[in-house]
Structure 1
């Protein structure tokens, strides 16, 4: 049922948001010259997939977890995208393809060994990663790997249709701060 809802909402979201995606893409061209950001992430069963987002940092920024990046790397437009969470819209494509869910643990990077190990220990990789989840609405990010893994595990164990919609609504209404930078 969740996969059907993910597919339906992702398709609907991409169709409805298409004009906004085009506008953000064009503004991003002027901001960084390269408005789309792709990065290999850890997916379900630790299978790699390419995550798609709008670029919020300068093109030459090293590929690392957001909490390790310098705030000076974020462009002014990128700051707006992060604050409004519009940088996440292209991930609807990942959801449509079945690589992600709307709700699930945020996908980490393969070089985040401590996080990968903590998540592996509690079975987090048995589900698709998500655009939002319990950790995100509670402002728990990848800088606290053990707490993040524990919270992700709790979310997975208590996932119901009610919680699925609740977490989506909490995210859309602005709960949580998005990815932090130092």
Structure 2
């Protein structure tokens, strides 16, 4: 049932959000020169997929987890995109393609070995990664890999359509604060 909602909501989001994404893309050309950010991430069962977001940092920024990046690396427009979560909109394409869910554990990088090991032990890698989830609305980021994996596992064990919508609504209301860049 959750996949049904993923497809429906991501298709609607892409359709209705298309004009907004076009404006963000055009402004992004002037902000960074390359408005879309593509990065290999760990997907379901440890498979590679290309995550798509709006770029919030200069093109040459090191490819590491958000908590390891300096807040000075974020552009002024990027700060706006991150604070409104509009940088996440292109991930609706990842959701529509089946690489992600709207709700699930945030997809990590392959160099986050400790997190991958902890998620593997707890069975989290068997799930489709998500744009938001319990860890994000609880303010837990990738700097605490064991705690994050435990929170992800807890969320997945009790994930229902009701909790799916609860996480989405909490994120839309601004509670999604995990994966923040350090100041």
Q: TM over 0.5, yes or no?
A: yes
TM-score normalised by L of structure 1: 0.99
Residue 59 of structure 1 corresponds to which residue in structure 2? 59
For the Cα contact (< 8 Å) 2:6–2:102, is it kept in 1? yes
The unaligned stretches of length 5 or more in structure 2 are: none
Residue 86 of structure 1 corresponds to which residue in structure 2? 86
- 1 CA distance for matches of 2:14 and 2:3? 16
- 2 CA distance for matches of 1:10 and 1:178? 21
Residue 157 of structure 1 corresponds to which residue in structure 2? 157
Residue 145 of structure 1 corresponds to which residue in structure 2? 145
Shift in Å, 1:181? 1.5
Residue 114 of structure 1 corresponds to which residue in structure 2? 114
- 2 CA distance for matches of 1:7 and 1:51? 17
Shift in Å, 1:180? 1.4
For the Cα contact (< 8 Å) 1:65–1:142, is it kept in 2? yes
- 1 CA distance for matches of 2:25 and 2:153? 35
- 1 CA distance for matches of 2:91 and 2:178? 14
1:32-87 Cα deviation digits (max 9, x unpaired)? 00000000000000001000000001111011101001111100000110111000
Residue 22 of structure 1 corresponds to which residue in structure 2? 22
Shift in Å, 1:104? 0.2
Shift in Å, 1:166? 0.4
Shift in Å, 1:178? 4.6
Residue 100 of structure 2 corresponds to which residue in structure 1? 100
Shift in Å, 1:119? 0.4
1:131 matched to 2:131: yes
Shift in Å, 1:176? 2.6
Helix, strand or coil for the counterpart of 1:40? Answer: strand
Write out the 4+ residue segments of structure 1 that deviate beyond 6 Å after TM superposition.
none
Residue 77 of structure 2 corresponds to which residue in structure 1? 77
1:168 matched to 2:174: no
